Structure 1
Amino acid sequence: MQHANPQFDCSQLSGDHDAVRETYAPRMVIHLSLVPRQTVSWRVVADCEVRAHGSRVWLTRIFSPHDYWMQVGDVIRIARGERIWLSADGDRPVEVTLTSEYVERRRLLRRRPLRWLRRLLDILLPLAR
């Protein structure tokens, strides 16, 4: 394996750690295929960027009185909790991507200590019968 090409050069990471974190931050990308003459509703669970691919896309937001006509490559930033409606403009299916930073789910980790505390209290303080 002496002649194998390296797949990743770690020397690229030896610079500024904040810049590295921004560059290599884990991201989640959701691909939506929009069928012509159908509207899709989506509630955004994390701040994201919506990007149109292939053709024009109609987008409307719950907190905005304006409609947006996104051309190919246009990006609109959507805040967490917003509801958006998307539709393809034309007779062909269109792809839309929603890109956000990966958000770790921490609710499960918060519940476990409470569950352990309840079990400990059940063992130490049994109910009087």
Structure 2
Amino acid sequence: MREISSSIAFEIRSGETIPMKVARSTKLVVHGGAIWVTRSDDVEDYWLQPGHTLHLRRGERLWLSAEGGAQAKITFSVPTRCDQRALNWFARVGERLTMRLRGGWRTV
């Protein structure tokens, strides 16, 4: 069983079923052909077309199948951690402030 713990992209051949375990909360995005998703602890199955997304919880298990004649291309996007997002935000604010200070303050 594959474990998803980072952002990754791969293809599923038509008729192939791949079992997976989600190690970190992530977002699944479908590109290419359609896929069929079965999730642990969920009575529903999901039929996802290209462009559809599905948010996945840490610890759940998945079974992914490509349906039809086309290969499915799938990406898993693990969001950045809260502390990384905060540091990125402070860096952007610092850059903007520096640019304003270099340009001088304008008075009206």
- Establish whether TM, by shorter chain, passes 0.5: yes
Give yes or no for the alignment of 1:29 onto 2:7: yes
Give yes or no for the alignment of 1:58 onto 2:20: no
Name the counterpart of 1:78.
56
CA distance in structure 2 between the aligned counterparts of 1:50 and 1:86, rounded to whole angstroms: 11
Indicate the RMSD between aligned Cα atoms, in angstroms: 1.3
Aligned length: 76
Percentage identity across aligned positions?
30
1:49-81 Cα shifts (integer Å, max 9, x gaps): 011101211011011011100011111100000
Name the counterpart of 1:9.
none
Report the TM-score when normalising by structure 1.
0.55
Query: How much does 1:37 deviate?
Result: 0.6
Query: How much does 1:101 deviate?
Result: 2.5
Q: Which protein has the larger Cα radius of gyration, Structure 1 or Structure 2?
A: 1
Amino acid at match of 1:80: R
CA distance in structure 1 between the aligned counterparts of 2:64 and 2:55, rounded to whole angstroms: 14
Query: How much does 1:29 deviate?
Result: 2.0
The structure with the greater share of residues assigned to strand is: 2
SS class of match (1:101): coil
Report the TM-score when normalising by structure 2.
0.66
Amino acid at match of 1:97: T
Extract unaligned runs of 5+ from structure 1.
1-27, 104-129
After TM superposition, what 4+ stretches of structure 1 lie above 4 angstroms from structure 2?
none
CA distance in structure 2 between the aligned counterparts of 1:102 and 1:86, rounded to whole angstroms: 24
SS class of match (2:75): strand
Report if the CA contact (8 A) 2:32-2:70 is conserved: no
